[in-house]
Amino acid sequence: MSPQPLRQATLAILKLVSSKSSTPASAAKPAKNAEPILAAANKLRAGYGSAAVCGEVSFALRPRQALALIGPNGAGKSTVLKTVVGALAPVAGTCTVFGAEPDDRSLTFRRDVAVVLDEDAFFPSLTVSEHLAIIAAGHGVEDVAAAIENELEFFGLAREGDSLPHSLSSGQRRRLLLAAAFVRPKKLLVLDEPEQRLDTTMRAQLADRLSAEVAGGIGLLLVTHDPAFLLASATAALSISDTVQSLKPAAAAAAISAADPMAG
Amino acid sequence: MALTSAEVRRYTTRAGLSRTEGGTMALISEVYNTVFAALVLVVMAGAIVINLRASMGSGSISLNGSALTASHPGISALDAGATLMLTLAAALMSVEASVGPVIMTRPQTVWWLGLPLDRRGFIQPGFLRSMVWPLAGAVLVTVPLALGAVDPTAFGSSGGSVGSVAAAVGTSIGLALCIYGVATLAQIRGKSSLVRSVAGTAMIAAPLLLAADALLAASGTKIPWTWPLYLPTGWPLLAASGAVWPLLVALLGIAALWLAFRQLPALTTNALKDSAATGSHVAGSVLSMDSTELSRALSSADGSHSRAGKSLLPRRGMSPAAALLRSQLILILRNRSGLARAVVLATVPGIVASVQALSAPGLVAVVILFCAYFAASALASVAKQSAGNPSLNSLLPLDEKLVHRLHWVWPAAGMTLWMALMSILMVILAGGSWLLVPLAICAGPGVAAAAIRAAYRPAPDWTMPAISSAMGPIPTGAIRGLIAGPDAALIALLPLGICMLAGGVPNIAFPLALILSTLMYLWGCRVRKRPGA
């Protein structure tokens, strides 16, 4: 099939899908004085089996807050992140998402939490647009085609909408995964090293976008190694290693730069 | 109104199907090439057998004689059948607990399970689809056993009738449902590892115990071996003999299935992602007919932490070739499940040959081919790993061809021992000419070379759009690659197979076996031209 008819076929499918959707899931904005806790950890020890990989982690993340986890490779940042979203069981302590134990079998969790880990798995015969259509339509987005077009444009994938995953570069696949998190409504966004495999311009744009999303009311929990990205997107930071330390974004960025002058 | 799970499923399937490439004709073309190559080999081998029998003066060209002669009663069909059922049921439970049994693909777990829609709608199709395999297996295994392997008068007068065969199949289906239900419940409750470990032990122990019993019988000490018949896995055979009560297991099966079905939405995304990863690994190894990779896929969740052979680690002053050989030996010794599988496989031809209903030389020869090839694959697992990660070998200053040949050394030594063990057991258990033993030994290095050929065959490309088939997507070129390895094993084992079919071992067979093994060594250890090179 030549590109033009393929694009038309895709648009037809997208129209069919979007005609079924109605009101998007509401992202209610709570009163400023009674901001609920979106995600929290209390003396959490993350690890595998009974072996913890880092010190005790405690935090409470509310709407309009962005918490960055920093630390050297192997310190346990991603392990903490996976534990907070329920992909790993805690070794000790507790963590909650929307006040409950994190469990993606719960409808609320799947509706309100968008998670992007490094999972490079795509349907080989579905195009970039069709992958995004599944997410947008599945989350009840009203205008699926417009939402997809916006995200393709933002993530520099506009010309790849009809491409199959095997023809994308590693960076483009990463951007597709990120686009899937933005094409849907959410209250909490969890990202594991979102800057990886992105060029400098894209990193800056993504950091600004995240900052805007946080200002708009979502909570953001991310792992990052990029000081500039952290400064632009985070409102607080935790340094993860054998001991866990709470830092201001500027101090966290400085700590990353001191540990690795080439970072970012 | 948001979409339903079924609508998302349908959308994904239709959009995908609209651009699969190749289709049925491409699949037929690939199957045709494979089957045609196999038929040519079979016809050539048949012609050689007939000529050989005529030249040996057998008096006629009928194929009734054999180098194997049933000189003693051996194992009863009922004992062998019950042990086979126990082994197969344990294997089924182990496989089900490893791949799921509820299976989704990795993209499905990533792109579907995060949607705020009814999870049952995404999980249930995988549950129902995966149920087809144990049910089909139950029918395929039970019908021939019920028709041929059981003495109809052993437990009742109605044995062997259509009704008793139907009862056996019904019991077997009930048993398969039980296994499937229990495996699903174990997956839901995170107990798959425990189930896998118990089933894996039973799977290895049952045939070894039967072989030990047969060896004792051959030496004149017969120990009664009827207990596997009274385990639930043996009940289909009791049903085939006329008993009706084993059908009760069908009720248990339905109950287990209903319990599992009700709890499907409780399956965690992690469990489904694990089974998706194992499932795709298993599919790849089945399509590439790689038993070692298949075994690794099925046991990957358990992890192997063996530290065997630490004292063999390469030392200073050692040549690169010697260092590589030592490293390979350590890895082979640490692959305990592979070694155990090779030992179990060595007993299978002897057991089959000693069961009177199964002792046709043609069948035994086919069993030898499969067992030898799978054992060689287990011993050549290091070569397979090396092929998947060539940068490891490039760390050593060795020519690529030499690396291939060094990878052949330990499997060749292992297969020489394996063929000796297999043929000695076969001759003891089933009787026959001891000349089969040196003939089998001559073929060992050739079969090892076949496994090296298979290890270095090009891997299927799963990233390209696949060929659509009833079984799901098949990567382009995968079926062509299937015969790389088994073809060389067949050629290396031709002298042994022909002699078994022909009914004697002429002197010419020994140099012929050595020549074929040498040729397979040269063929299997060559370096393939890379695409575009």
Our CA-based measurement puts residue B186 at a distance from the nearest CA of chain A, in whole angstroms, of 18
Find, among A126, A12, A122, A86, the residue nearest to B270 by Cα: A86
* ipTM computed for the complex: 0.84
**Phi, psi (degrees; rounded to nearest 5) at A93:** 80, -170
Q: b/e for B464-488, b at 16 or more Cβ within 10 A?
A: ebbbbeeeebbbbebbbbbbbbbbb
What crossing angle do the helices spanning B269-287 and B77-99 adopt, rounded to 10°? 120
Taken in order A107, A108, A111, A114, is the CA torsion positive or negative? negative
A23 touches chain B (CB under 8 A): no
Q: b/e for A134-169, b at 16 or more Cβ within 10 A?
A: bbbbbbbbeebbebbbebbebbbbeebbbbbbeebe
The Cα–Cα gap between B455 and B312 comes to: 24
pLDDT at B309: 63
Q: Tell whether the model's pLDDT for residue A188 goes beyond 70.
A: yes
Tokens of B483: 């015969």
pLDDT at B153: 52
pLDDT above 70: percentage of residues in chain A: 86
Beta carbons of B3 and A21 less than 8 Å apart: yes
How would you list the strands of the sheet with A188-192, edge to edge?
A113-116, A188-192, A219-223, A66-70, A236-239, A245-247
Our CA-based measurement puts residue B111 at a distance from the nearest CA of chain A, in whole angstroms, of 7
Count CA atoms within 13 Å of residue B185 on its CB side: 14
Find, among A111, A142, A149, the residue nearest to A19 by Cα: A142
Find, among B415, B409, B517, the residue nearest to B509 by Cα: B517
pLDDT at A186: 95
Query: What is the residue type of B453?
Result: R
B11 touches chain A (CB under 8 A): yes
Set of chain A residues whose Cβ sits within 8 Å of the Cβ of B114: 104, 110, 114-115, 135
pLDDT at A181: 95
Residue with tokens 């990353």: A256
B299 touches chain A (CB under 8 A): no
In the 3-class helix/strand/coil scheme, how is B376-393 assigned residue by residue? HHHHCHHHHHHHHCHHHH
Alpha helix ranges (H) inside A54-138: 77-84, 107-112, 128-138
**Phi, psi (degrees; rounded to nearest 5) at A246:** -85, 135
- Nearest residue of B to residue A131 by CA position? B111
Query: What is the residue type of B57?
Result: G
pLDDT confidence band for A20 (50 / 70 / 90): very low
The Cα–Cα gap between B72 and B393 comes to: 51
Structural domain spans, chain A: 3-12+37-259
- Nearest residue of B to residue A23 by CA position? B1
B19 touches chain A (CB under 8 A): yes
Q: What is the pLDDT of residues A114-173, one digit of tens each?
A: 999 878 889 988 999 999 999 999 999 989 999 999 999 999 999 999 999 889 998 899
The Cα–Cα gap between A155 and A10 comes to: 19
Q: Prior bond to B511 cis, omega within 30? A: no
How far from B263 is each of B119, B120, B253, B260, B270, CA to CA, in Å? 11, 9, 16, 5, 16
- Nearest residue of A to residue B463 by CA position? A166
3-state secondary structure of B396: coil
3-state secondary structure of B344: helix
The Cα–Cα gap between B468 and B27 comes to: 8
Q: Domain A3-12+37-259 has what CATH class?
A: alpha beta
Q: Which helix (H) or strand (E) holds B206?
A: helix B192-218
The Cα–Cα gap between B228 and B234 comes to: 6
Set of chain A residues whose Cβ sits within 8 Å of the Cβ of B20: 125
A105 touches chain B (CB under 8 A): yes
Beta carbons of A126 and B113 less than 8 Å apart: no
The Cα–Cα gap between B107 and A166 comes to: 13
Set of chain B residues whose Cβ sits within 8 Å of the Cβ of A164: 19, 465
Set of chain B residues whose Cβ sits within 8 Å of the Cβ of A180: 111
Set of chain A residues whose Cβ sits within 8 Å of the Cβ of B106: 119, 121
Identity of the residue in A111, A121, A166 whose CB atom sits nearest the CB atom of B464: A166
Cα B242 from chain centroid (whole Å): 32
- DSSP assigned state of B356: G
Q: Tell whether the model's pLDDT for residue A63 goes beyond 90.
A: yes
Set of chain A residues whose Cβ sits within 8 Å of the Cβ of B268: 104-105
Residues 6 or more apart in contact with residue B56 via CB below 8 angstroms: B502, B503, B504, B506
Q: What is the pLDDT of residues A67-108, one digit of tens each?
A: 999 998 888 999 999 999 998 999 999 999 999 999 989 999
Nearest-5° angle of CA B269, CA B270, CA B274?
115
**Phi, psi (degrees; rounded to nearest 5) at B338:** -65, -40
B4 touches chain A (CB under 8 A): no
Residue with tokens 């935090």: A59
**How is B185-199 classified by DSSP, letter by letter?**
HHHHTT-HHHHHHHH
Residues 6 or more apart in contact with residue B38 via CB below 8 angstroms: B483
| Inter-chain CB pairs, A–B, below 8 Å | 111
Q: Which helix (H) or strand (E) holds A221?
A: strand A219-223
For each of chain B's 533 residues, which pLDDT tens digit applies?
A: 567 888 888 888 887 666 655 555 555 555 555 565 555 555 555 555 555 455 544 433 333 345 555 555 566 777 777 888 888 899 889 888 888 788 888 899 999 998 999 899 999 998 998 888 899 988 888 887 777 655 555 545 555 677 888 888 999 999 999 999 999 999 999 888 889 889 888 888 888 888 888 777 777 776 666 777 888 888 888 888 888 888 999 999 999 999 999 999 999 888 898 888 888 777 766 665 555 566 666 655 444 555 666 676 666 777 888 888 888 888 888 887 788 888 888 988 888 887 766 678 888 899 999 999 989 988 888 888 787 777 777 777 888 888 889 999 999 999 999 999 999 988 887 777 888 899 999 999 999 999 998 888 776 655 555 555 544 555 555 555 667 788 899 999 999 998 988 878 888 899 999 999 999 999 888 887 665 44
pLDDT at A12: 46
pLDDT at B423: 92
The Cα–Cα gap between B436 and B424 comes to: 8
| pLDDT mean over A42-49 | 91
- DSSP assigned state of A70: E
**Phi, psi (degrees; rounded to nearest 5) at A41:** -130, 140
Set of chain A residues whose Cβ sits within 8 Å of the Cβ of B269: 87, 104-105
Nearest-5° angle of CA A65, CA A176, CA A41?
30
Residues 6 or more apart in contact with residue B127 via CB below 8 angstroms: B101, B102, B184, B260, B261, B264
Q: How many residues does chain A have?
A: 264
Find, among B357, B389, B266, the residue nearest to B78 by Cα: B357
Q: Tell whether the model's pLDDT for residue A175 goes beyond 90.
A: yes
Q: How many residues does chain B have?
A: 533
